[in-house]
Structure formats: C-alpha cells, structure tokens
Structure 1
C-alpha cells in the first residue's frame, strides 16, 4: 500500500510566539519527502516550502516553480498552491505555516515590533510569492526543531519558539535585503546600565549627578532614583568603589605616590582614598601594596 512516510518532525499544534504588539502563530510544521501527496489549496496564513534535497516542484497561482536544495518559497495568504507529486523522484523539504495576530487591546512602546510588521507590509506584495536562495542558513535550524520535538527535554517549548522565530526572521531576511534603520527608543534604554558606563568612562573626573543627568538628558533626581531602584545602592557609593578599584591597578602596577593615584582616579584628596581603602579592604594601602609587590 502506498502512503506518506512518517517523520518525527511533525507538529500540528498551534505554537504562539508572543511579541509586544502581535503574536506570531505557527500553525503547522513538517518535514516531508517524495511520498507526500498534496492537493492544491489556499489558506489565510503564510507558508514556506524549504527544499533540503533534490528538486521540489510546485504550482503557485498556476505558475510552475522549481526549488533546488537550499532554496525556499514564501507564499502569502490566500494564494492557491501545492507541491507536484512525482513518484520515485527523491526530494526532502520542510514546510512551516504561520501568521501574525495583532493585539487589539494592547499598546506598546516597542517600536521595533511595529516596524517589523510595517516593513513586511511595505516590502511584500500580498498577491505574489517569493523564491529565494537561503543565505542565512535557515536549514541548520530544522534539525534543532526536530530534536526538540523528539526529546522534549526541559524547556523544549521555549526552544521550539526560539527556533521558529529564528527560522521565520532569517527567511524574511533573504527577501528583505535592504538595511532597515529603526529609530532608537529612549523609553527602552536601560538608563541604570548607561549610568554605570558613564561612570566607567569618567570616574577620573570630578563628576556629579548633574553631569550624568546632562549626558542622559534627564534630571539629577531621576538619575539618583533610577540608580537606587535598579542596583539597591547609591550613585556616590558606586562611584567611590570604581575609583577605589582602579586605584588598585596603580598600586600594583606603578610606584606612584598615593597623592598622585588619588588624583588620577578622581578622589578630591588622598585622605579620602586612605579612609575608603581601610574601610573596604580592612588593611592599609601600604600593606596592600607590599603584598602585591612581593607576588
């Protein structure tokens, strides 16, 4: 009896990949071969046929399409299509069916999500299909998808979603080849982390909350509040720790006097360095220097 051979890469269950303003819903994935008989059909989803081995012949909108290995076709919703059955003609291909479901009751500050959808809409003609050579190695994700479906180890549902998303985005990258410049979004910037970067780069100067605030285009009060909420400590204490830590480099690598080191790392006086060093390191600067000079 002739019938379609079974393959462990088969997932008919809806898999939702949540985004901020929409969900990507993968409706079906399967690894197929020359035993698959497919009827001409259309649906309201996107579909990708990815040729892995041999030549995959399809008919899309009554147009013959041949896909050699490492090529794929993206079929937008509502286009009639189907693979052509060719007995005893070896071929292997992967199919993924998906769509984008917008959130009706959510607003989001994530512009990159909105830009993702708008770029797709502006770049793709919904009444045409797209054939492309895969330059982004999408095929390497297919065995990973199969492995997760077979083993179902801890977290496999999350891994499946990651692999699906990577496959879909990389497939679109083969079609949308022009660079996309998305406007940076200050509302998404981790200001607390940016403050630490500013401190790393400017610890040796006489910086204050106002200097950081001016660099971040916010108020000093906002800097202080954000930093405390995120790290559970104050800006001033952290700046002193940076200065003390970098002072250790000078103590180990140079014979500079403490007065010069204090100036190089931004302390107002050597006494401040002496005092903080004793408090935090539980030893004097001289003892610390002697220990490291011996080693």
Structure 2
C-alpha cells in the first residue's frame, strides 16, 4: 500500500487508487490541531475562505484557500485548518492511496504513459500543491464522491475511471501553471469578462469581480489591464454603453429607463457616460438612428 501520490515508484507497477475517506463539511470559527494522514488528501473549497497551515520540515507555511481553489496534501504532511472568527467555509475532502493489483482499469503507470502531465505531477517534490479550478475539477470530484457513497470505498471500475479523469484534470492544471502564468491569466480575464456580461445590469464594483474569480482586487486590476488594455471599470462601462446603444436603436424603451437596464443607478450620470462614450446624448443618438432608419426606408420605397 502507498499513501503518497508524489512518488515515481507508483509508475513501476500496476497501482490503482484506494479510497479511505470522503466527506462534505461546513466549518465555522474553528482551529484544528496539527495532524497528518497516511494517505493523500484533496481539500476542495466549495464556498467561503479558510487558511491551511502546513509544516514543511522546520518551516510552517500558510495558504489561504478561496472558493474554487483546492490543495493536494501528500501523505504524512502535518497540517491544520483555520477558519477565522465570524467566517465560515464549506469543503469537500477526499483521502486516497494506492494498492498494487491486477485490474481491468488502467494503472497509474498506464495513465502517465499516455498523459505527460500526470507524470509531471507524480514526480513533483513539494509536500503540497495548490491549484485554482477552472470549473472542471469539482464536477468530477463531486461525481466520484457520489459514486463512492453508492458503491463503497473498495472501488469499482467506475470509481477508478472517475479517479483517472480527476487525476488528468488536476495534472493538466498543474502543468499549465508550471509552464507559464499566461494561460491562467487568460482564464481569469475570461471569467471576469463573462461575469461582467452576465451582471452589467447590477450595481457591481471591482471588489465584486475579484471575489467572483478569487483574486486580490489589486492583482486582478493589473492582470486585466495588461491582458485587455482597459481597466475593469472601463470594460464594464463599454459593455453598458454598447448595450444602451442597442436598446436605443432597437427598442422603444423610454430613454429615462435605459439607465436602469444597463446598471447605472443615476440617470444624470448615465447621460454623462453616454455622451462621453458616443459624443451624443441618448436623445440625440435615438433621433439620429430614427432618421437613418427613415432614410433607409425612403431609399427602399423609391428603388
């Protein structure tokens, strides 16, 4: 039996996963004593924030986990969970090791032969790895736990296959992070842009966007500006003004209501933003589009 994921010895035989524990847990205002497991543990943050302290030799390291992030702790690594006062978090934990046996499902060796990222992850030397999910890991992890609930920890072909999928997803995230921080920056920018498009009609601020993607507002500002050439505020204004243009052109919504549709609470401020963005007031813009439509109709009728 092997509890550690981070060892190349797993690639010398036919090792398959064995599961020891898995559970959801809500933590509130809690400090756990230092402890360790004989197995590898994944701690996935579903909501909230917490701090994980890890002993690495004589050194203690603190890791803040936010929603959508997870830590893989290798076997026998001392660690503890800390949830600050008045705070809470919800986690999904899975503890697993490996056993060498013949099986109809592929072994770790077979997976690593096919997927270079798995080989890299197994061979890394840190006692823990922290990664940010791209909405790929959690669905697989959740499905694996549900299957274990229904079939038991001894493992079935389905649980083995789900673990393979989980391991490949995690390994690819790890390899991408190690090779360059550009792809992860692009990922965060895409998530920000998606969030802005889905929420432009609400009163949102930069801190709301940062919380959504689990990054510090200052760091997110730098990443977003470098990647798009605009600040988050400027990008949100662009989305709102383009939507306002569309509504003025294509609908009969009263002009005094347009500001509400695009998330600008003050009508006066909306007029100032729109004039700065287009060079026209909302009234002038709608009238100009109405005239253009009339001219096009006139041309069509005379042709």
* Interval of TM-score (by shorter of Structure 1 and Structure 2): 0.3 to 0.5
TM-score normalised by the chain length of structure 2: 0.42
Question: Greater share of helix residues, 1 or 2?
Answer: 2
| Larger CA Rg, structure 1 vs 2 | 1
